Structure 1
């Protein structure tokens, strides 16, 4: 029985949507698109930065292979030092090859920017050191040579870049275990060893390589000085 009140009108399929519904829908879609685009861009940046750091570290590894034989079979390693100041460099390390008349030098020079540097390799026959201004062979670039102005707590310094361990010297960097104390403190090498620690900057990211070379042609009788030190400029 019809009571006389008006029945609600059913929406027909061709009635469409109101302006308010369209505005709300477009707003929701815009927010969703912004969130999706931001996520995609962030993933792309993260992947790109990771690939760049990996490529840079691999490039350093390949660069070290260029003089791996000379340094691994070195007959003498100098004491690393810097010219001028420890913070400004340049930083030097000389070594004699398997044939003692072959001399080599690794030189790390600060670049155009304060936190960028170039690692170069020099080689010569003993008695004929590189001439002043010689450029040498470029091994790697974009090397960080200055510590951050405010390093984070526990952040490791980028220096020293070169560290020599003489025959019989105790391990300078023992590993500390919470339950067992220091491990490796009693280790004493039977050869001279050279640790090279370099940090490269790639955009906002950093990559580090830490390699130790053992000079297999050195003994406890290897002299502390060698004529290959002639390649280091005097201050």
Structure 2
């Protein structure tokens, strides 16, 4: 409430109505600012999730490509308790200097791609290591199966001289809730395979599918 001096000039001050109006305007501005900050944060999280998914898939491809080119045999994919497995035998001419079995698992319960290895003849493999998370393949669709092996021979009129591993992985955004994601769809050739390469390797006397 303003008071007037004897000279008739108003003293500095605000009425209660003016104070309420000012607080209301400030509240609106703060709400708009917070909404903008929240929106920017969500966009950043989603963009980072897309980048992470792509990075994980790219690293997986590089590892598979490096190993499969030295593989002398690739197993037929199998399924145990809903998880899908693939194995291949990497020859001793690889960088490790020893024959190594590599096993990948599409863990359907966790939506993860996992990897472990063991040397031929070992009774136990390494611990599972997760390489990709947020997988969302539609496993009811044959075209979205994570692993498929093409044997040597005639494949739809095309004569194949090496075993081939087809990989399809669709990585989602997890908690970010974004329809975007990363995808890996590649065809890898086992350059060391031959017509005599078995499609059941690494399982005898070694770790199984579990």
- TM-score higher than 0.5 here? yes
**TM-score, structure 1 length as denominator?**
0.62
TM superposition shift of 1:30:
0.9
Task: Give the equivalent residue in structure 2 for 1:169.
Answer: 155
Task: Give the equivalent residue in structure 2 for 1:210.
Answer: 184
Task: Give the equivalent residue in structure 1 for 2:17.
Answer: 20
TM superposition shift of 1:14:
4.9
Kept in 2, the 8 Å contact 1:93–1:106? The answer is yes
RMSD, aligned α-carbons: 3.8
**TM-score, structure 2 length as denominator?**
0.68
Task: Give the equivalent residue in structure 2 for 1:225.
Answer: 199
Task: Give the equivalent residue in structure 1 for 2:86.
Answer: 93
In the aligned structure 2, how far is the partner of 1:195 from the partner of 1:144? 17
TM superposition shift of 1:164:
1.9
TM superposition shift of 1:81:
1.3
Which secondary structure does the structure 1 equivalent of 2:129 belong to?
A: strand
Gaps of 5+ in 1: 1-11, 149-155, 171-185
Aligned length: 192
Task: Give the equivalent residue in structure 2 for 1:7.
Answer: none
In the aligned structure 2, how far is the partner of 1:122 from the partner of 1:13? 86
1:106 alignment partner, one of 82, 103, 108: 103
In the aligned structure 1, how far is the partner of 2:28 from the partner of 2:202? 67
2:131 alignment partner, one of 120, 136, 140: 140
Runs of 4+ in 1 over 6 A off after TM superposition: none
Q: Check 1:16–1:209 CA distance in 2 against 1; reply closer, same or farther (3 A cut).
A: same
Gaps of 5+ in 2: 1-8
In the aligned structure 2, how far is the partner of 1:169 from the partner of 1:115? 34
Which deviations, in whole Å up to 9, do the C-alpha atoms of 1:168-221 show, x marking residues without a partner? 424xxxxxxxxxxxxxxx8775533212233365433474341422222335x2
